[in-house]
Every structure is written in C-alpha cells, then in structure tokens.
Amino acid sequence: MNVRLYVWQRTTAALMAPLVLIHIAVIFYATRQGLSAADILSRTHGSVAWATFYGIFVAAVAVHASIGVRNILSEWSPLKARAIDVFVILFGIALAILGFRAIAALVLA
Amino acid sequence: MSEAISELSVSLWRGGGDGRYETYAVPRRENQTVLDVVTFVQRHIDPTLSYRFACRVGVCGSCAMTVNGKPRWTCRTHVSRVVGTDAGGAQLEIGPLENLPVIKDLATDMAAFFAKWQEAQGVFAPSKTRHDAIEQISPASPARRAADAAIECINCGVCYAGCDTVRWNSDYLGPAALTRAFTLVNDVRDAGNTARLQAIAATGGCHACHSHQSCQELCPQSLNPTAAIAALKRHTAAAYLKGEIKA
Amino acid sequence: MIARQLKHRGSALWVAAMVHRLSGLALAIFLPLHFLALGLAIDGEARLDSFLRWSDQPLVKLAEVGLVFLLTVHLLGGLRVLVIENFAWRDGQKQLATIAAAVSALAAFLFLVRVF
C-alpha cells in the first residue's frame, strides 16, 4: 500500500459510508414489502436517480474492493507483487462490468 | 537475595530459528523478575544460555523477550504477574522477540529493525549551522507537544515484535521507525521533511499500518505509534495531494 | 514463529481489525454473485422473479442475515479506521469497538426478524 492507493481507498470508503446506510435501508424496505421482480423493476425502470446512486456505488466499490483484496493477497498469499496487481485490476474491472450490467438490467429493462 | 519459596518450571528457547524449548527448574523467590530467572539459569544451570541485558532497571530496552506470548522487558516483568501454565506444562515460557531472526537462544539480530529506522529517515537533517542563532522552540507548541509525546523510544523492539503487519509484510518499516519519523516531521528545525515523507509514503511505509494497535498496547514507555502513524498518513496524503511528493 | 501463543491477538482492537478484513473479503467474494443475480433481469422479469422465489428459502434468508451483519460490521470497522486516521486520538476505543460489533449483530437480528 502506498500513498496513492491509500488516498483512493479511503476516499471511496468515505464516499460509500452514506451509500451503504441508504442501501441497508433499501434492503430492509425491499424485504419487508416482499417485493417481486415486477415490483422492483417498476421502481427502477427508467430511473435516473437509481442509476446515478448505484452507478457511483459500483464505481466506488470496484476501486475499494480491489485495493482491499490487494492488501490481503500481499500480506497473506505467497503471490508476487506483479501477479497480485494483475489479478486485482482484473477483479476490479470485472466488478465494474458486472455492476454496471446489473444497473442496466434494472434501469434499462 | 530472598529465600526460595517454591520451584518454578520454565521453558526457554534454545538454539537458532530451528531450535526447541527446554525446561529448567528454577527456585521461585519473592520479588523475582523474569530477567532474574533467565540469569539464574545461565549462572547456575547452563552457562551456554545466550541472552541480552544491560541496565536491569527498565531504561535501556536491551532485555526485551517474548514472555508467555507477549513481548516485554524482562527486567520489569515480575514473575508473580505472569506465571501461568503453558501447553508444555511449564509455568513460564520465555523466547526471543518475534519478527526478528534468532542469533541464539534469547538473542535476536536487530539489524533489520535499525535498517528500517534509516529507511524511514528517522534521522535529523539540520537546517542551520553553529553560527546561526539557536532556534527558539516553545515546548507548549502543538508540534513540539506531538514530538515530545512520541520521542521517548529506546528502541527495545517490543512494538516491532508485537506487530502482525511487520510479521506479514516484510517491507513494512514498523511502528518504532515510523514513530521516530513522526517526531522529526514535527521538529521545526528539521530540513529533511520532503524526502522523509516521500520515504514513508512508499510501499511498506505508514499506509501499510492497519491500526491493530498492538504496538500502542504493548509499548513499555506508553508511546502511541498508532496515533503517530495515523498523523503521518495525514501528512503524506496532504503532501501527495499538493504535489510535494510522488506516489 | 517461535512463541507458542501470541497474546496481542486477544485484544478487542486486533479482533476488530481482523473482523473488518475478513468481512471485507467475504463481501468482495459475494459482490460478483450479487451483481450476477441482479443482472438476471436482462433476460426478462420472469428470470429475476424465479431467482427471487428461490431466495425465499430459509437457508438463503439466513445467508442474507449473515450478509447484513458483514456489511454493517465492515462499515462500522471502516468508520473506526477513518476516525483514527483523521481525528484526534481518543481512548476508550475498545468499548466503542465492542459496541460496534453489538450494533452490527442487532442490525442482522432485526433483518432476521423482518425476513422470517
């Protein structure tokens, strides 16, 4: 971990703190209501607000989780630094792609 | 010397990194320290035991060892406070400090500990000569207070031995080196701050710290490396964002 | 390792840091699956619906309770780190760390009650 990765990780963490609280509230709401797919999609379809909120969330978590996993691998695995960097970059890209795809699925459906 | 009140069974590490624990029977006395125990073994049972000590009164930091799983100053650890039962059945287990190569028995090679001190640029860089006026520093200024709170480190190695990030990350400079760097960051007379922040902003620098706080809990001088390192994270992040240092 | 035990690992703050790391790792493993499940909507509403019905099973709900705990505990652990790193030092952190764990367990319990 160096200063550049540190700044990225702490910034995305601080950014996500309120997003996580809202997300937990959403989880509680959705499960209480026993929402079906139709219910969910009717709320998210075409919603700029949903897309923006979760778009920011996905971008932030892709950066934050990759750096976190990088720390764990460099301290707990025998892998070399170069291999770890390649793996976590791919992991971050995968998270971003899957996350934006999920948002598209719910907003553009 | 007080009379023996009973016997103590003690496990001491013998050999190098591939050694083993050996058990000794030592007379237990009142007001006995762990260093007394080690000394007794070396003087009366096995003169080949290797260990370090100097002042015996808790000011030099030479006698630090792992006692029942915790790095401590053996001269300031009373046997009555730590005696228990370990897995091998002994009441006291004494080994060399962790996270450092073992030379022999209870003595470790502290070269890496001091090398990291240098790498963290824990060395004063003067900005004036003897021909300049003496810098007037108020002891009450916030920077001096911060430096004073962190300056009493005597390089005993306890924090380094107790740090899991040191254990898992061979690049990590460690709590002691970073705390010393922190005191210099707060020293207005020092001229080497940019280079110092650059050194501790690299891989293995202050950002590797995960705030386990073992160092702060273990330090026999009641220093707080976790807080010092947290402050360094702020200093380096600010310097980085201002473009004064590079990633 | 020569010492046969490492006492510093029993500290509440060390445990807090470890729980923070392990919960982050678990969430990082969970996230791609979460995104894949939500992405089922691309194949149409029915596909997502059948997944939601599958997730109505007690074991899945129990896993979700676990996830709520992991997310809450990781958030609170992260706040601990952000506070240590950005604000003046405060003592009494051990108590705060324990309270954070309790709050997370409470959140998970509330979710459990909700969902069953």
CATH class of the structural domain B111-241: mainly alpha
pLDDT recorded at residue B126:
93
Domain that holds residue A88: 3-107
Chain B residues in contact with C74 by the CB 8 A cut-off are: none
Tokens of residue A15, six digits: 């950014």
Which of B99, B213, B224, B229 to mutate against chain C (most C CBs within 10 Å)?
B213
In contact, A17 and A78? CB cutoff 8 Å: no
Among B232, B196, B189, residue whose Cα is nearest residue B211: B232
Contacts A–C by Cβ distance under 8 A? 91
How many domains does chain A fold into?
1
Using the predicted structure, report yes or no on whether residue B235 has a pLDDT greater than 60.
yes
Q: Exposed e or buried b for every residue in A27-65, given b needs 16+ CB within 10 A? A: bbeebeeeeebeebbeebeeeeebbebbbebbbbbbbbb
pLDDT recorded at residue B84:
62
Q: CATH code at A28?
A: 1.20.1300
Using the predicted structure, report yes or no on whether residue B214 has a pLDDT greater than 80.
yes
Enumerate residues 6+ apart whose C-beta is below 8 A from B237. A3, A6, A7, A10
Q: CATH code at C69?
A: 1.20.1300.10
pLDDT recorded at residue A36:
82
Tokens of residue C7, six digits: 């006492």
Q: What is the largest CA-CA distance in chain B?
A: 67
Find the mean pLDDT for residues A3-20.
97
All partners of chain B with 3 or more CB pairs under 8 angstroms: A, C
C64 within a domain of the structure (yes/no): yes
User: B68 vs C7: CB contact, 8 Å cut-off?
Assistant: yes
User: The dihedral of CA B21, B22, B25, B31: what is its sign?
Assistant: negative
C7 within a domain of the structure (yes/no): no
Q: Is B217 helix (H, G, I), strand (E, B) or coil?
A: helix
**Cα–Cα dist B166/A17, whole Å:** 29
**Cα–Cα dist A55/C35, whole Å:** 12
Q: pLDDT tens, A15-44?
A: 999 999 999 998 888 887 677 888 888 888
Find the mean pLDDT for residues B6-13.
92
Domain that holds residue C41: 12-115
Q: pLDDT tens, C18-76?
A: 999 999 999 999 999 999 999 988 888 888 888 888 888 889 889 989 999 999 999 99
Using the predicted structure, report yes or no on whether residue B141 has a pLDDT greater than 90.
yes
C39 within a domain of the structure (yes/no): yes
CB-nearest partner of B205 from A2, A75, A76: A2
User: CATH number of the domain at B4-108, out of 2.60.120.560, 3.10.20.30, 3.90.1150.10, 1.10.10.10?
Assistant: 3.10.20.30
What's the complex ipTM? Answer: 0.93
In contact, C77 and C16? CB cutoff 8 Å: yes
Find the mean pLDDT for residues B143-165.
96
Interface of B with C (CB under 8 A): 13, 17, 19, 21, 66, 68-70, 86-88, 93, 95-96, 98, 102, 162, 164, 210-214, 217-218, 224, 226-227, 230, 233-234
Q: pLDDT tens, B76-103?
A: 999 988 886 554 556 899 999 999 999 9
C17 within a domain of the structure (yes/no): yes
How many domains does chain C fold into?
1
Share of chain B above pLDDT 90, in %: 89
C89 within a domain of the structure (yes/no): yes
In contact, B187 and B124? CB cutoff 8 Å: yes
Q: How many CB atoms lie under 10 A from the CB of residue B34?
A: 25
Instruction: Domain ranges for chain B, please list them.
Output: 4-108, 111-241
